[in-house]
Amino acid sequence: MKKLYLCICALLMVAASYASPHKPNVIVAYVTSWSSVMPDPSLLTQINYAFAHVDSTFSGVTIANVDRLRSIVRLKDTSPSLKVVLSIGGWQAGNFSEMAANEKYRKSFVGNCKRLVNSLNLDGIDIDWEYPTVGVAGISSSPDDTRNFTLLIKDLRKALGKKRVLTVASIAYGKFIDFAAIAKYVDYINIMAYDIDNPPHHQAPLFRSDMAGRLSCEEAVKAHLAFGISPQKLVLGIPFYGRMLNEGAYRSYKELTLFKGYQRHWDEIAKVPYMTDSTGHYICSYEDARSIHYKCEFIKQCGLRGAMYWEYACDDEDGTLRKAVYDNLFAAIQ
């Protein structure tokens, strides 16, 4: 009965008319250094350039493919409202723990961030430390990382000033970061509400169902709100790729549209699609325009700041997913 009640509540949530006092005003696209695809600034408000890294001295910043970053910054010449932010970190990006723990290293790192923002005409910094206090990605860690993370964010805000963008990426579970402590320093928190589970479970179910696995996007948002964070400080992440069974692999949405011989299904409770093979085995968890519609409706109802997606180049040539994000968040309320 409890499960049925929760399911009904979930369905009512997406079916109701949405009257949040705060309209979403952010669409963040991660654009990678290794892609050659140039983003369309008319469908987003901010580009997070991935990635830069803490260098081997623990005190500086190295940027991957800085020429590509410069070409992306030039998009602001014709789209002056566009913001371009340097994202530092990513999966298996180390040296954060050593840098944040040492005041000298930390101050030098922060100074280098400020210098790069000014010299490259950037709009701010995004910290994507995966993850403080745990070395699951093969990086160094310390029990003091959470406290030192707060010191790093505080120092970055002081250096960048109030007008620059400062954001952080957070694991869906809402762990490893003292959110109550950093909330006053960051503009918003990008919730990486994906990679939550592998087939035969969904990787980014909006609501809990029998195939939802470890966590739902709704539960991820609730986990962050439990720290007393304003919904306007939260941005919901959406994957533009699928996770495959037994491969440990990702497939871009663009690739998934070309798949043959698989059956596409819809989980009416979780509000996400998935694929099975000819024998009915769950093969792939992914997103489509329909699931993005429901995620955007959820964003609006909850009064969240907006949506983020990883990553731009995974979309198909028609821009199906990025257009779905824009149309559902912005076009419908203009």
The pLDDT of 168-187, averaged and rounded, is 98
Phi-psi region of 124 (alpha: psi -120 to 50; beta: other; left: phi over 0): left
Please give the pLDDT value at position 34: 98
CA distance 154 to 136: 25
pLDDT of 16 above 90: no
280, containing H or E segment: none
pLDDT per residue as tens digits for the range 22-36: 788 999 999 999 999
Please give the pLDDT value at position 318: 98
Residue 298 contacts residue 320 (beta carbons within 8 Å): no
pLDDT per residue as tens digits for the range 97-126: 999 999 999 999 999 999 999 999 999 999
Q: Picking from 5-19, 91-105, 178-192, which range would have the lowest pLDDT averaged per residue? A: 5-19
What is the maximal distance between C-alpha atoms in the chain? 59
- pLDDT band at 159; cut points 50, 70, 90: very high
- Hey, how many other C-beta atoms are within 10 angstroms of the C-beta on 71? 11
CA distance 34 to 314: 12
- pLDDT band at 264; cut points 50, 70, 90: very high
Residue type, 96: F
Please give the pLDDT value at position 278: 93
Top pLDDT among 224 and 7 is at 224
- Percent of the chain at pLDDT above 90? 89
The pLDDT of 287-304, averaged and rounded, is 98
Please give the pLDDT value at position 332: 58
Q: Picking from 83-92, 197-206, 248-257, which range would have the lowest pLDDT averaged per residue? A: 248-257
Please give the pLDDT value at position 8: 36
- Of 190, 178, 192, nearest in space to 228 by CA: 178
CA distance 186 to 126: 9
Please give the pLDDT value at position 155: 99
pLDDT of 18 above 60: no
CA distance 97 to 132: 7
Please give the pLDDT value at position 22: 72
- pLDDT band at 331; cut points 50, 70, 90: confident
Domains observed in the chain = 26-242+287-330 (3.20.20.80)
Please give the pLDDT value at position 247: 62
230, containing H or E segment: none
Please give the pLDDT value at position 65: 98
